[in-house]
C-alpha cells in the first residue's frame, strides 16, 4: 500500500500469545468465557444504574460510564485475539492495525481520565459535602465526561499520527496479539527512538500524572477523615478502597508498559492481557461485591422482572 508516507507494508502478522494450536484452543475457550463475563457484568451495571433512580447520582453515573468504556476497551482487542486463536497465521491489515491502535488508546485514555474524575468526585463528596450538589451537578458531570472524551480523542490522534509518520517497508511481524504504538514503530524502516520518546512523553506522562493526582486526592481524603465518626470513616474507606483497587489494576500495567522507551514485548503482552481482558471483568465484581446499594438495586430489578413476568 503506497501513500504519502511511502508505506509498502500491506499487513502485519501477530505472534500472539502462543504458537501451539492446542494451547490456542484452550485459550480460545478461556478468553471466550472472560469476554462473555465482561459483556454480561458491565451491561448489568449499566442497566442497573440506568433503571434505578436511587442510583442517579454522580458516583453511579461515572460507574456506568466506566462499565461502558470497559466494554469498548476489551472489544477493541479481545474479539480479534479470539479469532486468531483458531488460526496458525494471525494477520491484520495495515489500516485495521492503525484503527485498532487508535481505538485502543482512545478507550484506555478515556478510562484513565474517568478514574481521575471519579477520585475527584469522592474528594468533593467527603471533603466538601455541603457543596457537593452544586460542584457535581448533572450538568457538571456531563461536561466532565464530554471533556474526557475530547481529551482521549486528542491523545489517540497524537499517538496515531506519531505511528503513521514513520515509513514501513520491510518487517511486519508484531510480537503481540494486538496493534500498539511501541511494537509497531519498532518495525519502521528508520530510527524510531525519538518517536518512542514522544510516545513515553504522551502516554507515560498521562498515566503517571493521573496516578499522582489520584494518590494526592486520596491522601487529602484520608487526612480529612481523622475527625469523622467510625461509621463515616468505614463507609468512605469502603467506597475509596474499591476505586483504588480498580486504579491499581488498570493504571499499574499502563505505567509499566508506557514509561519505558525500550520494551520487552514478550513481557508487555502478558501485562497487556491483564488490563485489556482481566481488569474489565474484575471491575463489576469489585463494585458489586463491595457495594450494598448496587447489590440491592440488582435485587429490586430482579424482583420487578419476576412481578412483570407473573402479570404476563
Task: Determine the distance from the C-alpha atom of residue 117 to the mean position of all C-alpha atoms in its chain, rounded to a whole number.
Answer: 14
Cα(48)–Cα(60) distance, integer angstroms: 10
Average pLDDT over residues 28-40: 95
The pair phi, psi for residue 12, each rounded to 5°, is: -120, 155
Residue 10 cell numbers, joined: 500491506
96 touches 14 (CB < 8 A): no
pLDDT given at position 5: 46
Name 301's Cβ contacts closer than 8 Å, sequence gap at least 6: 47, 48, 51, 52
Does the pLDDT of residue 221 top 70, yes or no? yes
**Most confident listed range (50-54, 182-186, 287-291):** 182-186
pLDDT given at position 252: 82
pLDDT given at position 113: 94
243 touches 115 (CB < 8 A): yes
pLDDT given at position 264: 65
Q: Is residue 303 one of the residues assigned to a domain? A: yes
Q: Is residue 223 one of the residues assigned to a domain? A: yes
pLDDT digits (tens, 9 = 90+) for 60-73: 899 999 999 999 99
Residue 237 cell numbers, joined: 474507606
pLDDT given at position 116: 92
Q: What angle do CA 263, 102, 94 make, to 5 degrees?
A: 80
Neighbours of 308 (CB within 10 A): 9
Does the pLDDT of residue 143 top 90, yes or no? yes
Q: Is residue 91 one of the residues assigned to a domain? A: yes
Name the residue with higher pLDDT: 69 or 214: 69
According to DSSP, residue 173 is labeled E
Q: What is the mean pLDDT of the chain?
A: 85
Would strands 91-93 and 11-14 be described as parallel, antiparallel, or unpaired? Answer: antiparallel
pLDDT digits (tens, 9 = 90+) for 234-264: 777 777 777 788 888 888 888 888 777 656 6
pTM over 0.85: yes
Q: Where are the alpha helices (DSSP H) in 170-204?
A: 181-185, 193-199
Q: Is residue 209 one of the residues assigned to a domain? A: yes
pLDDT given at position 308: 45
Q: Is residue 1 one of the residues assigned to a domain? A: no
pLDDT given at position 169: 87
Cα(30)–Cα(32) distance, integer angstroms: 5
Q: Is residue 6 one of the residues assigned to a domain? A: no
Average pLDDT over residues 204-218: 85
Q: Is residue 258 one of the residues assigned to a domain? A: yes
Name 215's Cβ contacts closer than 8 Å, sequence gap at least 6: none
pLDDT given at position 105: 94
Give the structural domain span for 260: 11-311
pLDDT given at position 286: 82
Average pLDDT over residues 265-275: 79
CATH number of the domain within which 35 lies? 1.20.1070.10
Question: To 10 degrees, what angle do helices 230-258 and 265-273 make?
Answer: 150
Q: Is residue 3 one of the residues assigned to a domain? A: no
Per the structure, the count of domains in the chain is 1
DSSP secondary structure, 135-168, as one string: HT-HHHHHHHHHHHHHHHHHHHHHHHHHHHTS--
Helix (H, G, I), strand (E, B) or coil at 231: helix
Instruction: Calculate the CA dihedral of residues 227, 230, 231, 235 and round it to 10 degrees.
Output: 70
pLDDT given at position 4: 46
Amino acid at each position: 500500500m503506497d501513500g504519502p508516507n511511502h508505506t509498502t507494508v500491506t499487513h502485519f502478522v501477530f505472534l500472539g500469545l502462543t504458537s501451539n494450536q492446542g494451547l490456542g484452543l484452550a485459550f480460545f475457550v478461556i478468553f471466550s468465557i472472560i469476554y462473555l463475563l465482561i459483556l454480561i457484568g458491565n451491561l448489568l451495571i449499566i442497566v442497573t444504574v440506568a433503571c434505578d433512580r436511587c442510583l442517579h447520582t454522580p458516583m453511579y453515573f461515572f460507574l456506568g460510564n466506566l462499565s461502558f468504556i470497559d466494554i469498548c476497551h476489551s472489544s477493541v482487542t479481545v474479539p480479534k485475539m479470539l479469532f486468531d486463536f483458531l488460526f496458525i497465521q494471525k494477520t491484520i491489515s495495515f489500516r485495521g492495525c492503525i484503527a485498532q491502535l487508535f481505538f485502543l488508546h482512545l478507550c484506555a485514555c478515556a478510562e484513565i481520565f474517568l478514574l481521575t474524575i471519579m477520585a475527584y468526585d469522592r474528594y468533593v463528596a467527603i471533603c466538601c459535602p455541603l457543596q457537593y450538589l452544586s460542584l457535581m451537578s448533572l450538568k457538571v458531570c456531563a461536561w466532565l465526561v464530554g471533556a474526557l472524551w475530547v481529551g482521549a480523542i486528542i491523545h489517540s490522534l497524537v499517538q496515531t499520527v506519531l505511528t503513521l509518520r514513520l515509513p514501513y517497508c520491510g518487517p511486519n511481524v508484531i510480537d503481540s496479539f494486538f496493534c500498539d504504538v511501541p511494537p509497531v514503530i519498532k518495525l519502521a524502516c528508520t530510527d524510531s527512538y525519538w518517536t518512542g520518546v514522544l510516545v513515553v512523553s504522551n502516554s507515560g506522562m498521562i498515566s503517571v500524572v493521573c496516578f499522582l493526582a489520584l494518590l494526592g486526592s486520596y491522601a487529602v481524603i484520608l487526612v480529612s477523615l481523622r475527625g469523622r465518626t467510625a461509621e463515616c470513616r468505614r463507609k468512605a474507606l469502603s467506597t475509596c478502597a474499591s476505586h483504588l483497587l480498580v486504579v491499581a489494576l488498570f493504571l499499574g500495567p499502563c505505567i509499566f508498559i508506557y514509561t519505558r522507551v525500550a520494551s520487552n514485548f514478550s513481557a508487555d503482552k502478558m501485562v497487556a492481557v491483564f488490563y485489556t481482558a482481566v481488569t474489565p471483568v474484575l471491575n463489576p465484581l469489585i463494585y458489586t461485591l463491595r457495594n450494598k446499594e448496587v447489590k440491592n438495586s440488582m435485587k429490586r430489578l430482579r424482583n420487578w422482572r419476576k412481578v412483570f413476568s407473573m402479570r404476563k
